[in-house]
Chains A and B, each alone.
Chain A
Amino acid sequence: MTIDHTAETREITVTVDGRSETGHVSDRTLLVHWLRDALDKRGPKIGCDTGNCGACTVRWDDTLVKSCMVLAAQADGDEVETAAALEGEDGSLNRLQRCFADYHALQCGYCTSGMLMTATDLLSSGEEITEESVRRGMKGNICRCTGYHNIVKAVRAAAGQEVPAPHGCAAQEVESR
C-alpha cells in the first residue's frame, strides 16, 4: 500500500469479500481505487469519469453502488462485496455466472463484474423480471461489446425464464454444455 502524502490520510478497516482489510487511505481516495490498487480486487473496473458506466459496481453494506462515486474513507467500518465473492465456495460459477457463459453475455469481460453485481441485485430485489425490467434495471451499466441482448437473456435465464438458445445451439443443449 502506497501512501499519498498530499492530503489527509487515515486508517480504515473494511470487510471486503468476507475478509477484514485495514489500510491507510488518503481522504480523497475513491473506494474503487483502494479496492483495486491496495487489495488487488479486479472485479470493480474503471470505464468512465462520470459514474455512467457501472463497471465499478459493488455492494456496500448490502446496497448496490458504483464504487467510483464513494470515498474509501466513507466505507470505514463497513462491508464491501465485489464480484470476486459471487462464485461458489468450491470455486464453481454460480447460476447467474453460468447463464452469462451459456448465453454468451460477455465478450471482452471488462464490464462483466459490474453487470453481474447489478444483475444479482436485480434478481434478489423481488422485482418482476421481464425483458423490459431487466433492460431498465441494467441501464446503469454500459457494455460496448455485446449489444446487451445476450446479457438480458442471461439475466432472464438466471431468473428461470425460458429464453432462446444461442445461435447454433439447441435449447436442451444450453445447460448441458
Chain B
Amino acid sequence: MLLPPLRYLRPETPGDAAALLSEMDGSVVLAGGQTLLNMLKLDLARPAALVDVHRISALRDIRHREDGTLIIGAAVTYSALAGSSETRRTHPAVADMAASLVDRQVRNRGTIGGNCCLNDPANNFPPLLAALDARFRVLGTDGERVLRADEFFVGTLATGLRRGELLVAVEVPAMPPGSVVAHEHLQVGADSWAIARAVVRLDRDGTGGTGEGFVTDARAVLGAVYGSPLRLHSVERSLSSARVSPGLADAATALREVDVRPTEDVHCSTAYRLEMAEVQLRRALRAAVEGSIR
C-alpha cells in the first residue's frame, strides 16, 4: 500500500528537529516508523512532512545517571534496549519488555519514543513506564521540559507534547532495592494484539528474608484497556504500607469501581476487556507479591 504525498526531512540534531517541527505545518516525527507508516498507508494520519530522527545520535544513547536513573534516548530501538546489559541489570522489566515486543524485524526499527508518542492503547511501554514513574524529557524551540507519565499519556493516540516539541529521552528512576515489577497480559493468539495488560510494582523496605517487611510504595497500572495507561490509585493505596504476605494480592479492590469505559475493538467486547483487566491485575499482583517474598 502506498503512502500519500509527503516530504521527508532528516535533521542532524534534536534542536534542528524541533525547529522543523515548529516551523512546518503538519510535520510529525518519524522515529522507527513501525506504526506511523502503516497509519499513513491506511489513511489514519495525513502529515505533510516526516521529520526523521532515527539517526540523530543524541537520541540513540542509553545512559545511566549517577543516581541510577536510566536515560533512554527517544530513538533507541527495542533491540538496542533489549541488548543493553546494563539496562538488564538495573531495569530488567524494561529490557524484558523490549525483548518480547512484536517481532525481531520490528524490534530492530521500532523505538521507545515512537511507542510512547503514538500512545496506542495496545502499546507495551506506556503502562510499564507509568508504573516505573518515568519522566519524559521533551525539547521545544523554547527549551526543554520534563513531563510525568500522567502528563505525557493523555488519551488514545494523544500525548502532552505541544506543537513543535520533540521527545528526546525517557528517564526511568533507579529501582529501589527489593522493588519488584510484574507485567501480565492477555493477547490475541500467543502474543499478538493486546486485549488487556496490567503492570504492578511493589517497593518494600529492607531486603530481608521471606515474608519480612512492608510495602513502601506501589504502582498498579492497566494498559490496552483505556485510552491511556490507567493508574489505579485505590489499589495502590490499599497496597502501600501493607505487610508483604501471600494474602496481599487479594487486597486489591475490584476494577468495577473505576468509572472509565474500556476501549472497544474487533477482538472483544468492552465487558470482556474490563473483566480481563481485572484478571491480569490480579495475576500481576500475585506475581509481584511472590517476587517480593522470594
Contacts and interface: CB of A to CB of B under 8 A. Distances in A.
Direct contact of A and B (CB under 8 A): yes
Interface of A: 6-8, 10, 26-30, 33, 46, 49-51, 54, 57, 63-66, 68-71, 73-74, 118, 121-122, 137, 139-141
> Taking each of B7, B37, B52, B191, which has the highest tally of chain A beta carbons within 10 Å of its own beta carbon?
B37
A69 B38 contact: yes
Given A49-B42, A64-B104, A139-B103, A28 B109 contact: no
Interface string B87-109: 00000000000000011111011
A140 B103 contact: yes
B258 interface: no
Nearest to A6: B5
A7 B7 contact: yes
B5 A28 contact: yes
Q: Which 10 A-B pairs have the closest CB atoms?
A: A140-B103, A27-B8, A7-B5, A49-B1, A28-B3, A50-B38, A63-B108, A66-B105, A73-B8, A140-B105
A69 B42 contact: no
Nearest to B100: A136
A74 B54 contact: yes
B41 A49 contact: yes
Q: How large is the interface on B (under 10, 10 to 19, 20 to 34, 35 or more residues)?
A: 20 to 34
A85 to B, nearest CB: 17
Contacts of A30: 2-3, 37
Contact of A137 (B79, B104, B106): B104
A116 to B, nearest CB: 13
B106 A140 contact: yes
Interface string B1-28: 1111111101000000000000000000
Contacts of A46: 1
B126 interface: no
A54 B32 CA distance: 16
Contacts of B216: none
A19 B105 CA distance: 24
Contacts of B50: 27, 71
Contact of B105 (A10, A50, A57, A71): A57
B103 A7 contact: no
Given A28-B2, A63-B108, 5 more contacts: A28-B3, A28-B4, A64-B108, A68-B37, A69-B38
A28 B9 CA distance: 11
Interface string B50-69: 10101000000000000000
B42 A74 contact: no
B46 to A, nearest CB: 12
Nearest to A66: B105
A137 B143 CA distance: 42
B241 to A, nearest CB: 40
B263 interface: no
A51 B107 CA distance: 12
A12 to B, nearest CB: 11
B109 A8 contact: no
A64 B105 contact: yes
With a 10 A CB-CB cut-off, give which of B32, B52, B103 has the most chain A CB atoms.
Answer: B103
Nearest to A121: B104
A147 to B, nearest CB: 15
A122 B109 contact: no
